[in-house]
A and B are shown apart, each in its own frame.
Chain A
Amino acid sequence: MNNVWFVYMFFVAVLLFTGIYCLLTMRNLIKLFIGIEVIGKGVSLAFIATGLANKSMLAAQSLVVTYIVVEVSLVATALALIINLYRKTRSLDIRQLAKLKG
């Protein structure tokens, strides 16, 4: 792999770290989801950077487009779930979910 690919991978790793830090330390459900989005950005960048290095940009782009479609579906469902949880518990605190029974 060429040197440019390593520069991109450096930034991919930083984005993944930022997202994982958010997932491990934050308590707000929407914040946790923002962390997942940040990780997703890192993954998209990794796909395109590898496509650029391997000269297979069409495959990389089609994977990223597929990922974005899946991401939209995921975000819509998860945010609907968050709104429903808020209606039940009146809070966005992840610790409140541990108290749910049923």
Chain B
Amino acid sequence: MVLQTILLIGLVCSSVLAILFRDLLKSAIALAVGSLLLGIIFFRMDAPYAGVFEISVVAGLITVLFMLTIALTKGGEARESKAISIAFPAFFIVFVAIDVLIMRKLLQKIPALAGPGETGTFGQFLWNARTFDLVGQIAVIFAGVFAVLALFRKGKDNDE
């Protein structure tokens, strides 16, 4: 659990850096590092499929999409006010203190839910128990593809 806690702290640190960096490229890289750490955490929690998806899709594909967008919108950055970065540590410390107090109060007070008692492999579970999720995923992918196509459609404004 010690290594897991270190990884979790690293995840929080990289997420905090991702929102505090003024350079968007550095923010995107910090976010990718966070995804990589989350993927390793998933592997260590016996969730290899979620880990693989997190590392390949979120740390890889989404980071590339972010970098592409940052490159295409160069020069239009809205500078964040310095007060936000300065005030963040104070709010963060207060929140962490409240979080510790609440978690200590709730310790052992939330009853464990009865698990369904799963058998078989991940593939079998995904195909048999979550078939509608897969249909939904296909629909969402198509919706995303058509939305991007519609947004980049050549119109009168883009022809010049």
Contact = CB atoms under 8 A, between A and B. Distances in A.
B130 A66 contact: yes
A73 to B, nearest CB: 3
Size bracket, chain A contacts: 35 or more
The B contact surface, by secondary structure, is: helix
A52 B41 CA distance: 12
Contact of A21 (B68, B72, B91, B152): B91
Given A38-B15, A62-B125, A80 B110 contact: no
A69 interface: yes
B5 to A, nearest CB: 7
B77 A56 contact: no
Size bracket, chain B contacts: 35 or more
A6 B107 contact: yes
B50 A59 contact: no
Contact of B58 (A3, A19, A71, A79): A71
A7 to B, nearest CB: 7
Contact of B45 (A9, A49, A80): A49
Interface in B144-159: 144, 147-148, 151-152
The residue in B114, B148, B152 that gathers the most chain A C-beta atoms within 10 A of its C-beta is B148
Contacts of A48: 42, 45, 47, 50
Nearest to A50: B113
Contact of B140 (A59, A60, A73, A89): A73
A11 to B, nearest CB: 5
Interface of A: 1-4, 6-11, 13-15, 17-19, 21-22, 25-31, 33-35, 37-38, 41, 44-45, 48-49, 51-66, 68-77, 79-84, 86, 89-95
Given A15-B15, A21-B19, A34-B18, 4 more contacts: A57-B46, A63-B133, A77-B148, A91-B76
